[in-house]
Chain A
Amino acid sequence: NAGVMQNPRHLVRRRGQEARLRCSPMKGHSHVYWYRQLPEEGLKFMVYLQKENIIDESGMPKERFSAEFPKEGPSILRIQQVVRGDSAAYFCASSLSGTGILQPQHFGDGTRLSIL
């Protein structure tokens, strides 16, 4: 499967724990994006990364949330000290190129995060 791979598909955490969401982009893609979807809503942009660089984090909450895309391995979205309001579906997308060339972003199946 050469698509965007996200894991886990479902994640349950208790309030105060940490959540780590992983994303491997499509083969050959070096641009990764994270989005959050609340129930019955559209996706909201969180962060855009290239290898080892955060390009745009304008949608990331100021506290508890961080993202990385290391030279080797998947991109990680990390949520510390989770609260009930963090319950959502988190989607990762990747694209072949960034600015200047119009190409679609391809999405993974998402991680459904539930906070008890």
Chain B
Amino acid sequence: AQKITQTQPGMFVQEKEAVTLDCTYDTSDPSYGLFWYKQPSSGEMIFLIYQGSYDQQNATEGRYSLNFQKARKSANLVISASQLGDSAMYFCASKALQGAQKLVFGQGTRLTINP
């Protein structure tokens, strides 16, 4: 079984600052992936970035990077140089590499970027 914990219900950040959204996970699967999705107020789910448990380097995609610390079971999302358009709900999710292919989501963090 997998479990995702996002301990920050809401975060407020000044525009242009970097922000870290926390995600810890618990899984018994030997290989797995961690994923981050953005859900703006319009409601769609936008894939941002992912990392495999076997990857040696942390994933990066533009202003997004995933700070993966396997020993701590954490997969935090870092957004550099935040923009007003980054205001949204952010969800961390996990998925096993083998077996069940469902994504298991956390409760989300609502990020607000202040001008």
Contacts and interface: CB of A to CB of B under 8 A. Distances in A.
Interface stretch (B69-77, B78-86, B91-99): B91-99
Given A42-B107, A100-B97, A102-B97, A107 B102 contact: no
Contacts of B37: 107
Interface string B1-41: 00010000000000000000000000000010101010000
Contact of A43 (B44, B45, B99, B100): B45
B56 interface: no
A99 B107 contact: no
Contacts of B103: 33, 35, 43, 45, 93, 105
A13 interface: no
Given A104-B47, A107-B37, A56 B101 contact: yes
B97 A99 contact: yes
- Report, as a range, how many residues of chain B touch the other chain: 20 to 34
- Report, as a range, how many residues of chain A touch the other chain: 20 to 34
Interface string A9-48: 0000000000000000000000101010000011111001
A45 B33 CA distance: 16
Contacts of B101: 31, 33, 48, 55-56, 95, 98-99
B97 A110 contact: no
Contact of B98 (A31, A35, A100, A109): A100
A109 B105 contact: no
Nearest to B103: A105
A58 interface: yes
Contact of B43 (A55, A99, A100, A109): A109
Interface of B: 4, 31, 33, 35, 37, 43-47, 50, 52, 91, 93, 95, 97-108
> Which are the 8 A-B pairs with shortest beta-carbon distances?
A42-B105, A45-B102, A107-B45, A109-B44, A102-B33, A43-B105, A102-B52, A104-B47
